[in-house]
Structure 1
């Protein structure tokens, strides 16, 4: 089939590469416009746009899919199907109608659970033991189209959102290729999602990553893992932001949420139910470091995190 791939961030690149290596012909790529990134805030292409350029593929970067010029350019590419991974913009009905077999989205959850922008982070936040990825036909309603393919995987006890998303990006890329194969072969089966049981996974904002030390220790652990690497779990120390990159929950009794105990080179924070060991941290104005290294530089016996 002739495919036009749509995607924007790093997590979409494995799918683009897998489709290019498949029996199908990728004739173009749709991605978000260049954005200001990095410390210099200079305009740079999305990861998908950069990889597409390396592969010699035509790249379309509409400000919005409603743009008539974009729609004309997409029609000119005459796609049979448009596979999508984290494109980042809603597609209006006239655009959905262009490819013969529609737009097929790879979504990193077991729909109808966790529709929306942050399915992997939300699965960890809610303590799920299993997640996965599905391919489904895009319809005007958010992540509500019929499902064609599914993979499942356990969530590791110490797995971060970044770790899990990397795994799903790889296995999901193969699922997306298999879905394209079945559509071309005429063997694809689309199953409507249940009318009940859908949940929404909103984008995780910086304030959502602010640790509440009065919460149970396992809840705080999930916040840290779900917000790693972005937006990054944090607390405050002496009024400045203090980031938490890696922690380990314990069942040691806790008495004073927010207080830090130093035991040799190990640091433990009291929470609402137990102590949380700090493994990797980032004090304000410094690079991420092992908590033991930070402990070596402390010159006080009393440490208390805010909130």
Structure 2
């Protein structure tokens, strides 16, 4: 089979291993599309997306249009003449004309087991929902948001130690392992398109900093999952003596004398949010159901 002409669309770190895999393949990456450079840090210096840095290292043309919904973008894609467009965390919704332009279509790598957790934050929501597994799905894009037929799906376990950061790293590697075999199979016509069951779909929205404010009337297991889901970003927080502190690591403490199984028949309960135990390595908080043992915090205005 002849090498394919591939246009790659992706912006953040999770997209880098997939781009590298395509660069290392027999196929030709004829262009990389990513979001515009953005100011970062105290000096507000413009910083290139990591996919742009990788593309430039390999002398691949980089395009950073503010919009794909204009004649200029359409003419650009036509001039690149891709056989297929590969998308992972690009950050823009593709217009219908682009989805239908390449002969082999546009395929998207999505960091969940579709139809679960469509949308902007699939990794965080898998942990928030306390899923025992997640994975990477490659789908044939249609005009909906993560609604296209699935082509390939691989799973990984989610443990109680995993955070969004660890799952992010694992799925970035997994996507890179999946992409070239998927492109090859699509070219040879050996991939089966499987329609999603839309009735089983779970949508995810954008994660905001405000969502990290912990409500201790919630159960301890829910709070522990949220802390893992929002690590490393945006982080979970509470207030102690008027100062914000971030909580980076916590687990349910079933051994506490304030655990539900030890409180049966008790006359009174601490108020939710009360610190019920402190030692050199941790402190424990009474919650709406169970006790949360916190082992890693970051005080306000402290780097660690």
Would you say same fold, with TM above 0.5?
yes
Does residue 35 of the first structure (1) align with residue 50 of the second (2)? no
Q: 2:271 aligns with which of 256, 259, 263?
A: 256
Say whether the 8 Å CA contact 2:282–2:296 is kept in structure 1. Answer: no
Indicate the larger mover: 163-172 or 37-46. 37-46
Alignment of 1:108-127 (within 5 A): 108-127=111-130
User: Is structure 2 residue 101 aligned with structure 1 residue 98?
Assistant: yes
Aligned counterpart, 2:192: 189
1:122-201 paired onto structure 2 within 5 Å: 122-201=125-204
SS at match of 2:210: helix
Residue 265 of structure 1 and its aligned partner are, at CA, apart by 4.4
The match for 1:274 is: 290
Going from structure 1 to structure 2, the CA distance change for 1:104 and 1:265 (only over 3 Å counts) comes to closer
Aligned twin of 1:297:
none
Q: Is the 8 A contact 1:60 1:70 kept in 2?
A: no
Per the TM alignment, residue 40 of structure 1 is displaced from its structure 2 partner at its CA by 2.0
CA 1:241–1:31 in structure 2 vs 1: closer, same or farther (change >3 Å)?
same
Q: Is the 8 A contact 2:281 2:295 kept in 1?
A: no
Distance (whole Å) between structure 1 residues aligned to residue 65 and residue 177 of structure 2? 27
- Among 45, 56, 64, the residue aligned to 2:48: 45
1:245 matched to which residue of 2? 248
Are 1:70 and 2:85 matched, yes or no? no
Q: Deviations over 1:129-184 (max 9, x none)?
A: 11111101111111001110000111111100110111011012211221101011
Report the Cα distance in structure 1 between the residues aligned to 2:64 and 2:213, rounded to whole angstroms. Answer: 35
Instruction: Determine whether 1:23 maps to 2:26.
Output: yes
Aligned equivalents of 1:258, 1:187: Cα separation in 2:
56
Structure 2 partner of 1:293: none
CA distance in 2, matches of 1:182, 1:247: 43
- State the 1:71 CA deviation: 2.0
Residue-by-residue CA offset, 1:202-229 (whole Å, 9 max, x unaligned): 1111111111112111100000000001
Displacement of 1:248 in angstroms is 2.3
SS in 2 for 1:94: helix
Question: Once the 2 structures are TM-superposed, how far is the Cα of residue 68 of structure 1 from its aligned partner?
Answer: 2.1
* CA distance in structure 2 between the partners assigned to 1:224 and 1:170 by the alignment: 24
CA drift at 1:114: 0.7
- The residue matched to 1:189 in structure 2 has which SS? coil
Give me the whole-angstrom Cα distance separating, in 1, the residues matched to 2:186 and 2:113: 21
Which segment drifts farther, 84-93 or 265-274? Answer: 265-274
Is the 2:278–2:284 Cα contact (8 Å) retained in structure 1?
yes
Q: Which runs of no fewer than 5 residues in structure 2 stay unpaired?
A: 260-269
Give the unaligned 5+ runs of structure 1.
Answer: 289-307
Instruction: Give per-residue Cα distances to partners, 1:253-306, cap 9 Å, x unaligned.
Output: 253322223224432222222222222211011122xxxxxxxxxxxxxxxxxx
